[in-house]
Amino acid sequence: MSTALPDIFTEQEEYSPDTLASLGPLRRLAGVWRSDKGVDINPKADGPERRVYSEYINMQPIDPQSNGPQLLYGLRYHIHINTPEEKITFHDQVGYWLWEPDTGLIMQSLTIPRGQAVLAGGTAKPDDRRISVEARRGDTSFGICSTPFLEEAFRTDYYRIDIDFNDDGSWTYVTRTDLAVHGRTPAFDHRDTNTMRRIAAAKPNPLVNPAIRETGE
């Protein structure tokens, strides 16, 4: 049975130029954040390794984006993580958090420099105190793509992040990444958690902020 698609080309004429005022449940993520109390459980040859880490996150609003009639507001983010024991970056991650007000769809697109990209999805209401998105390997909408080495040696089958917005303005995340480590079952539960505290407000998006219109920074 074929389903008639609505007009897929015409963009919405009505949109808010001010992304910070239109982010729905994602508005509490905007800004620059820090914490030294992250906890990572990662896979090592002789068993799980637990590491405490310090984390910096910068989440800045982008101009509204359209896929035909689908209108999205969002934040572009960069996460940088270190540990007290090492100078080298422990974890680096860039991506977007996106919100579609018409449907309540929320998405996180993330890439990490291990050769891995994830698009995770969920739904939320503007005043939700908890938001979650998830992705599964093999799903062509909300899925996980990894380099052939990772597919062979550390296959990511599932990704999920749960974020709780706390009364004091901080937020707490828990990520779960199911890693099928070569030759071992069950899949390894690679987990990270942290509570982020704001150190600076977000800047308005380029459309309403002439100072960053050229570069977006």
Kindly list the residues in this chain that would bind ligand HEM in the complex (CB under 6 A).
Answer: 40, 42-44, 53, 81, 90-91, 112, 114, 116, 118, 150, 154, 156, 159, 175, 177, 179, 190, 192
Residue 15: CB atoms within 10 A of its CB come to: 18
171 strand-pairing partners: 165, 196
The CB-of-147 to ligand HEM minimum distance in angstroms stands at 9
Judge whether 60 and 215 are in contact, CB under 8 Å: no
Q: How far is the CB of 135 from ligand HEM (least distance, A)?
A: 8
Nearest to 97 by CA among 66, 67, 70, 119: 119
Identity of the residue, 90 or 142, whose beta carbon is nearer to ligand HEM in the bound complex: 90
Q: How far is the CB of 97 from ligand HEM (least distance, A)?
A: 14
Considering the complex, what minimum distance in angstroms separates the CB of residue 192 from ligand HEM?
Answer: 4
For ligand HEM, the closer CB: 57 or 71: 57
Cβ proximity to ligand HEM: between 20 and 131 the closer is 131
CB of 22 to ligand HEM, least distance (A): 27
Nearest to 70 by CA among 110, 103, 118, 106: 103
- Beta bridge pairs of residue 108: 97, 120
For residue 144, give Cα distances in angstroms to 9, 113, 117, 139, 182: 28, 14, 6, 8, 18
Nearest to 147, CA basis, from 115, 118, 119, 182: 115
Check residue 212 and report its DSSP letter.
Answer: G
Complex with ligand HEM: residue 153 or 207, whichever CB lies closer: 153
Compute φ and ψ for 29, nearest 5 degrees: -95, -10
Task: Give yes or no for a contact between 101 and 123, defined as CB atoms under 8 angstroms apart.
Answer: no
Toward ligand HEM, which CB reaches closer, 71 or 81? 81
- Shortest distance in whole angstroms from residue 211 CB to ligand HEM: 31
- 202 phi/psi in degrees, rounded to 5: -75, 155
Residue 71 or 131: the one with the smaller Cβ distance to ligand HEM is 131
